[in-house]
Structure 1
Amino acid sequence: MSIQNIDIIHHSHTDFGFTDHPLYARRLQKEYVGQGLKLAMEDPDFYWTAETALPAADWWESAAECDRDLLITALRTGKMDICGMAFNTTAFHTPEEWNRILKWLPRELTERWRPSSIMQNDVNGMPRAALTRALDQGMNALWIGPNTYNALPPCATPSAFYWEMPDGRRMFVWLNSGYCDGYFLFNENWRIGPVPAASDLRYRLPGPGDIWKADEESVLSAHKRCVETIKLLEGNSGENMEQSRDGFTQNKIYGGYPYERLLVSVTNNYRIDNDPPFGPIADFVRKWRELGLKPEIRMTTATEAMRCLEEENKDKIPVKKGEWVDWWANGTVSAPVELAAGKKAAVNLKAVEMLAKNRLEKGQNAGEQDNVGMSKKLCADYQDALEQLCMFHEHTYGSWQSVASPFSVDTRMMTAEKNIFAYRALALSENLTADYLRDRKITGEVCLINPNKYPVSTWIRFPYHCLRGTYCGVEDLRSHKKYPFIMEEGPSNFKRPEAESHLSRENVSKTFSDCVPGQIGRFWADNLKPFEEREYRLISGEEDIACKQVAGPPLEIELDHRHWPTRVCREGAVVVEGEFGSFLSCRPKGFAPRWVLKDIFLEDDERQRARMREQALEIITAKAEDAVITEDNEYTVTYRQEFSHPSLEWGLRELILYKQENRASLNIKFNRKPSFDPEVFYLAFQSPVHTIPVFCNADLPYLPGAGQLPGSCMDYYATDGFAWYEQDGHSWLWNGRDTSLTALGKPHVSERVSKMPEHPERLLSMIFDNTWDTNFVCNSYGIMEFCYEVLADGGFQTDELPDVVQTVNKEPILIINK
């Protein structure tokens, strides 16, 4: 037996939800920091690690000064540890969110003590963008305990490696075999039945003698179990042994463990998640030591354990590179409307930040009270919105019974609390932008502001009744070019409908008209430069608004048999080629279909797994109707097409082709029928540049396949929402504004892809997935909308892409003062 030492790291796994309402779970976690501190200072063998920083920040804010001093003493002497990430995360954070998440501890605390490590548990991926920022903050070690429920670790667990970042810096990684693996190393499973809420008085916390029994017989029995499990860790046998998978999360035990020191993670076994420190573990450790058992065990902190393992094995630890793509990213798209709201909030926050910094750089912020171009009040509002957005992407979506009991109060209240973070972030970001611009006192009858680093030309829409008068267009006060208003149907609120034609099919309540002519106006904004504030004059109906038509090179458009464009070229640049927004779904057949998917995923034999997929999965492509041209003018031509699918009440897609740019926009809207059956929705696109795309996560680019950690998820990719194809002087930038999950080639539901598919130029935007079986949303339904843009041969460089995409996502801001 080569393992000589076992380090036990005791912590509480942080879920803001799952077991209890998120507000109460946060309160519990705050209390656990104080409890862990008390136990650590009273018992010489007890050590406690705060898995995440947010509970420690909450505790610090309300703690007495003497208790704060005690915490600093515990941290400096190694009796306690606070890991530096605010909470366990998903893969959808923006760079601004990551910056906030890694600086969550109060300044007064970090001035006296700084975290040097991160702990992430119950997640199945980790963006490098987060770790580069962690390294900037002096955090150089990552403890990560993947939950392999419907997921796979990138390599055998437990193991250690150096993870090399794009800039050459390295993060030491301890890849744990689960966040409660230490309990099952010594004990059989104690938790049985459902997950009790903390308020449920029918269940009680375990006490001395329930778990971690410290009498001689129990410790000797635990030793026997430990030795048998170590044989499995070091060898390659044990297929028929109970310990070949742990007792709760069923994480597989791999062989070949090479080190003399083993690190394990221990939570309380009451509910596993959101549970308090368990002091009697120290009694177990003392009895083990008293009996002289081998290997030696001790309680310690995550930082100290990783430091020791790294120091002892520096020459043996392999180096790995690449993005660690998250398996559990698919859960978030079970709530596509909320995900889209969060993405829009992030775009708004980025825009107002860029506007403020641009004015600051130009010295136009006289009277501002800070160094970021915003007043103290607006800075506080910005941070509030950013924190709400961060919390939306915390890894716990809802109750453990969200799918099993979707109508339960527990499910409803946790889902509501989770979703409110996205909606709060959106509302706060919109009002932040308005407040910032009101403070600026923008003048002019009409003003358009481009809050981005790249120029933009687009249609500007507005409710016509916001004008206090009758006008037919605007005049650009710089160029003196006039742009007429084009009138569209729109809502007429608080009025009784006068005709059936005044009610769209989206108007499901049939209360107020939403298709009344002349309610929406729009005009063309031509080449708004970066950060430009362009003023216009409103034109009354008596003025001549005729303007010179600008003829550009004609679009070359090929149509399919339903008159939908399948190839669009402009001056040799291919904008559209093949599929462009085809709707398809993948769903399992059979009894208890989520178990069908799980059985497929757990099948290790690749050929058998392929046979199971072929028999059990059904792919259905939507049926398209004839497309029609709804508008053809100087600037754009618009195609509209209805489509039908068994899972939808109706579907509609609208394609806008730009006549003066190598650009196309696609808007897809559909109404999903209520259904709790698992299925995945995709929109398929074909890149005219036939190569593997570059993806980005938090502005850090990576190449799927070759550019990711071997063994990480290739069934789909968590991204910033865009893909970049470039080869032989041609490029194609595809961007999805409302979602961030993408597959390549074909649907890969439960496939466990291990190599790049044959046709990576086929891109599948994964817009909905309710196949998850525990704590995500079981039945999102109703009207959903998704918007896409493509730019061909734009001449961009890879490092420019985040700002180009921000420009595409954030339309010019319209201010009307008359």
Structure 2
Amino acid sequence: MKPVACLILKKSFWVVVCLCLGIAVGRAAGTAAPEHVRELDLVHFSHTDYGFTDHPAVCRDLYVRYLDIALDAIQATRNYPQDARFRWTAETTVPVNDWWQQATPARRRQFLQAVRDGQLEVTALPFNNTPFLNRRQWEVMLDWLPEDLLRQFKPQTAVQNDVNGFPRAGAKVLLDRGVRYLFTGINSDSGGPPLPRLTAFWWKQPDGRRMLVWISLSYGDGFFFFESEEWRRGPLPLAADGRYRPPRAGDILKTDEASLRKAHAQCLQRIRQFEAAGYRHPVLLISMTSMWRYDNDPPFPPLSDFVAAWNKLGLEPRLRLTTATEAMRNLERVAGPHAPEYEGEWTDWWANGTACAPREVAASRLAKRNLIAAESPLWGPLDAATRRRIKELWQDLCLFDEHTWGSGMSVGQPYSLDAQGQWNEKARLAWRPMALSEWLLGQRARTRLGSMSEGLWLANPTEMPFTGWATLITSCLRQETHTIVDPETGRRMALYYEPGPLWGRPQSDKDLSYEDVSATFPDRSPNRFARFWVENLQPNSVKKFLFSREKTIEESAGGVEPTFTADAQGWPQTAIWPGMTKPLFTAGLGDVLAVKVRGFAPRWVSQDIWNITDPVKKQELQNEKLEFTTAQAAGPATVQNGPHTLLFVQRIEHPRLKWGTRRLELWKNEPRARLTVRFNRISSFDPELLCVISPLPCDGVLPRLSSGGMGFTPFQDQLPGSCRDYFAV
């Protein structure tokens, strides 16, 4: 019996040994260094939203405090090992400027010393942007900080986080200023990056210059290299909410050995996923935010202790706290020689968010035109005070085109005090510049023309000649006037009077148009506006005209007129001018189409459609869940056949509109048309897309568009993987 027992013991012994060896082998394999990655470069910053988590004014106050926290952490870790010394990257320059204006001289010296020591970096852009900045705004974007500070900061890197695109107009201005790198941490929602994440590529510009771009993970995803679960709670607590706080030492990224080894296992798992997908560089660049709200979060100073403890334990890959530019230089060293090169406009899906505020966008665009006109040399040199005011207004308009469009609950609770308060502050960045730019332009014109001889002075403060209508409100006329006279040539232009609004009680239904839903003041009072035709007014010029009581009958210039076809209701379908082989537009111009999402919780249904990658399945779900309704003509179009233009006006009806009007004006002496569609949409919480159709007879020839003043041809001149569903212009 004993030998049997002995045999059993021997088997048991070998079983135990094998199990122990299995555990040991498994642990060794699990903790082995990655195959390729030998160093993790950690870039620590806060993702800057002007709003979303808090009111924009609160956000700006927070960021001033955050720079103080970062500076204190830099001072406290100067004696740490080099790779563990606290480093902070200011993602945007607006907070830096805010901080600098409030800082004491001693604090400013500490800040500049931290920059020189490489522990604090100020990147190149004031904020993460939408693609609606024009050429002048891009100049302002790179001139946000005082010039003497820019010389000391010497920014080398621009950061565009969250947004899934970046205009070439911005890349050009950055390269002009010596900025060579673009770091992106793109949000996965509604589009995502154009290329696989953790990709470095050279972005070639039309002039041949190149910028190194890093497609990183989402801007805060570095946290999940070391932690498997989120620490933040919410959904999105306000900074003022005392029930929540930012993480502290011991909450996340703990430094005891057991926690470090657990974090190491998580890190290796993530790295191996990327290596299996093809990542081959010895350096991996990732960014980290705090875990309070993910956005608009403070620095996390204990990160230095975590890095120091990790490296002291000899874990691989080695961690290095660094700044964005230092990390990009390191990346260029290992990836630059083999990085692919791409060119084209980088269009983005998030551009559609700007369409949620058509009135405010219209106000901002009017303000931009006013400011460009006010800066015209036509009015004479600008004094220092006016230059400061103009820059202030341009900065407001730039901030309006910043990527944050309201509270995190702006869709779910649009009428909450937080959502309304945040939107009020955002909208102010359009309305205030509109009013002040109009006032500024008026003052510039008065200063230039106020001492001129009596008459009507017409100015063209743009870089292009002007041909079209000049409009007056008739209350400015002090005498009966029927004709405008050019004293230089003797040419006489008839004044055409039109109805318009007037204070007072309406006397009959003829005083009110169908658009006047308030029915308070007449909007069809006769002879409220007068307009006359201007021909080829030269750029940056003024011209004097005289008033005349005599009536004038104008004739068509040169007898040139377009030939047009119309539908049964008289709305134009095509128009062609002499010498043209194809019409300027085709049937459907000015049609209004509404797209409604059917189903329970329709916003989530639209997200379901968005997330489908298979084109066949996407089309099937679109057919099932989307309802398309086109507006119908409410009656025949009216036609005004004048000496200079043909004007078609038609009322339209749609179940989603209180009223709608479309106007199409065709120039007679040149192939030119102006389409204006006005409507009063019935408010609804349901997601809805309203489209104005403008079909062109391209026949394979694509239109040329502009982004920030830089032209591109959609579908052809774009980065691979960038948005092709719609384009910002």
Answer yes or no: is the 8 Å Cα contact 1:324–1:712 preserved in 2. Answer: yes
1:534-555 Cα shifts (integer Å, max 9, x gaps): 2111112xx3535566441232
CA shift in 2, pair 1:110/1:522, >3 Å? same
Contact 1:457–1:528 under 8 Å retained in 2: yes
Q: Please give the secondary structure, in 1, of the residue aligned with 2:143.
A: coil
Q: What CA deviation, in whole Å up to 9, does each residue of 1:439-496 have, x standing for no partner?
A: 1134231011122233222122221111122222211111212222221111112x12
Q: Is the 8 A contact 1:629 1:637 kept in 2?
A: no
Aligned partners of 1:502 and 1:319: how far apart in 2? 64
Q: Report what 1:468 is aligned to.
A: 478
Please state which structure has a larger fraction of its residues in helix: 2
Partner residue of 1:560 out of 563, 567, 575: 567
Give the whole-Å Cα distance in 2 for the aligned partners of 1:128 and 1:549: 44
| Match in the other structure for 1:395 | 403
Tell me which of 114, 117, 137 is aligned to 1:97.
137
Query: Within 1, Cα distance between the matches of 2:554 and 2:147?
Result: 59
Provide the rounded CA distance (Å) in 1 between the counterparts of 2:317 and 2:556.
84
1:362-385 deviations in Å (ceiling 9; x for gaps):
xxx4xxxxxxx2222221221121
Partner secondary structure for residue 171 of structure 2: helix
Task: Give the secondary-structure state (helix, strand or coil) at the position aligned to 2:622.
Answer: helix
Out of 428, 433, 443, the position equivalent to 2:436 is 428
Deviates more, 1:342-351 or 1:587-596: 342-351
Residue 410 of structure 1 pairs with residue 410 of structure 2? no
SS in 2 for 1:394: coil
CA deviation after TM superposition for structure 1 residue 396, in Å: 0.6
Following superposition, the deviation at residue 120 of structure 1 comes to 1.4
Q: Distance in 2 between matches of 1:42 and 1:384?
A: 37
Matches of residues 725-804 of structure 1 in structure 2 within 5 Å?
none
Aligned to 1:129, which of 166, 169, 177? 169
Instruction: Kindly indicate whether residue 180 of structure 2 is the aligned counterpart of residue 140 of structure 1.
Output: yes
8 A contact 1:558–1:565 mirrored in 2: yes
Q: Distance in 2 between matches of 1:526 and 1:314?
A: 55
Superposed, 1:388-787 pairs within 5 Å as: 388-442=396-450, 443=452, 444-493=454-503, 495-540=504-549, 543=550, 545-546=552-553, 550-573=557-580, 574-690=583-699, 691-719=701-729
Q: What is the identity, as a one-letter code, of the residue corresponding to 1:557?
A: F
Specify the code of the residue in structure 2 equivalent to 1:634.
P
Task: Tell me, in whole angstroms, the C-alpha distance in 1 between the residues paired with 2:556 and 2:199.
Answer: 67
Partners in 1 of 2:232 and 2:72 — Cα distance? 26
Matches within 5 A, 1:243-322: 255-322=277-344
With over 3 angstroms needed to count, the CA separation of the structure-2 counterparts of 1:489 and 1:291, relative to structure 1, is: same
Counterpart in 2 of 1:11? Answer: 45
The amino acid across from 2:559 in the alignment is G
Confirm or deny: 8 A CA contact 1:152 1:711 kept in the other structure.
Answer: no
Instruction: Specify the SS of the correspondent of 1:200.
Output: coil
Q: Matches of 1:96 and 1:481 in 2, distance apart? A: 37
**Per-residue deviation, 1:332:** 0.9
Q: Secondary structure at the match of 1:575?
A: coil
* Separation in 2, partners of 1:196, 1:689: 51
Structure 1 residue runs without a partner (length 5+): 236-254, 360-364, 366-372, 720-818
| Partners of 1:172 and 1:224 in 2: CA distance | 31
The letter of the residue matching 1:510 is A
**Given residue 104 of structure 1, which amino acid in structure 2 is its aligned partner?**
W
Instruction: State the secondary structure of the residue aligned to 1:671.
Output: strand
Measured in 1, the distance between the counterparts of 2:146 and 2:675 equals 45
The question of 1:222 aligning with 2:263 is answered yes
C-alpha distance in structure 2 between counterparts of 1:52 and 1:197, whole Å: 21
State the TM-score, normalizing by the size of structure 1: 0.82
Q: How does 1:375-390 map to 2 (within 5 A)?
A: 375-390=383-398
Q: Secondary structure at the match of 2:391?
A: helix
Call closer, same or farther: CA 1:546–1:556 in 2, change over 3 Å.
closer
Q: CA deviation at 1:642?
A: 1.5
Q: Following TM superposition, by how much is the alpha carbon of 1:313 offset from its aligned partner in structure 2, in angstroms?
A: 2.6
1:562 to 1:230, Cα distance in 2 relative to 1, 3 A: same
- Runs of 4 or more off by more than 6 Å in structure 1? none
The separation in 2 between residues aligned to 1:310 and 1:60, in whole angstroms, is 32
Q: Specify the SS of the correspondent of 1:143.
A: strand
SS in 1 for 2:337: coil
Partner of 1:59: 99
Aligned-residue offset at 1:435: 1.2
Deviations 1:739-785 (A, max 9, x none): xxxxxxxxxxxxxxxxxxxxxxxxxxxxxxxxxxxxxxxxxxxxxxx
Q: Which amino acid aligns with 2:523?
A: D
Separation in structure 1 between the aligned mates of residue 297 and residue 67 of structure 2, nearest angstrom? 11
- Report the residue type matching 2:456 in the other structure: V
1:411-440 per-residue CA deviation (whole Å, 9 max, x = no partner) reads 000011101101112112211211111111
Counterpart in the other structure of 1:22: 56
Q: 1:106 aligns with which of 137, 140, 146?
A: 146
1:321: how far off? Answer: 0.8
Give the superposition deviation at 1:656: 1.1
Q: Is the contact made by 2:596 and 2:627 (CA closer than 8 Å) also made in structure 1? A: yes
| Structure 1 contact 49–82 (Cα < 8 Å) conserved | yes
The alpha-carbon deviation at position 527 of structure 1 amounts to 2.4
**Which amino acid in the other structure matches residue 576 of structure 1?**
F
Q: TM-score, normalised by structure 2?
A: 0.91
CA contact (8 A) 1:378 1:436 kept: no
Distance 1:232 1:436, change over 3 A: same
Aligned partners of 2:145 and 2:184: how far apart in 1?
A: 20
8 Å contact 1:180–1:266 — kept in the other structure? yes
Quote the offset at 1:291 in angstroms: 1.5
The 1:554–1:507 alpha-carbon spacing in structure 2 relative to 1, beyond 3 Å, is closer
Cα separation, 2, equivalents of 1:627 and 1:258: 67
CA distance in 2, matches of 1:122, 1:343: 24
RMSD: 1.5
Q: Is the 8 A contact 1:481 1:547 kept in 2?
A: no
The structure with the largest alpha-carbon Rg is 2
Stretch moving more, 599-608 or 323-332? 599-608
**Residue type matched to 1:440 in 2?**
R
- Give 1:42 shift: 1.4
1: CA distance, partners of 2:665 / 2:193: 42
Distance 1:128 1:551, change over 3 A: closer
Aligned with 1:469: secondary structure? coil
The reply on whether 1:31 has 2:38 as its aligned counterpart is no
- The CA deviation at 1:258 is 2.2
SS in 2 for 1:351: helix
- 1:206 is matched with 247
| Cα pair 1:143 1:175 within 8 Å, conserved | yes
Alignment: residue pair count: 683
User: Does the CA contact (< 8 Å) of 2:569 and 2:637 recur in 1?
Assistant: no
> Match for 1:343: what amino acid?
R
- Give me the whole-angstrom Cα distance separating, in 2, the residues matched to 1:376 and 1:314: 45
Quote the Cα distance in structure 2 between the aligned partners of 1:518 and 1:2: 79
Q: Which residue of 2 aligns with 1:764?
A: none
**1:564–1:626: 8 Å Cα contact kept in structure 2?**
no
Q: Which residue of 346, 350, 353 maps to 1:324?
A: 346
Change (3 A) 1:109 1:558: same
For 2:32, the equivalent position in structure 1 comes to none
Counterpart for residue 744 of structure 1? none
**For the residues of structure 1 that align with 2:338 and 2:553, how far apart are their CA atoms?**
76
> Hey, what does 1:72 align to over in structure 2?
112
- Structure 2: segments with no counterpart, 5+ residues: 1-34
Residues in 2 aligned to 1:94 and 1:267: alpha-carbon distance in whole angstroms: 31
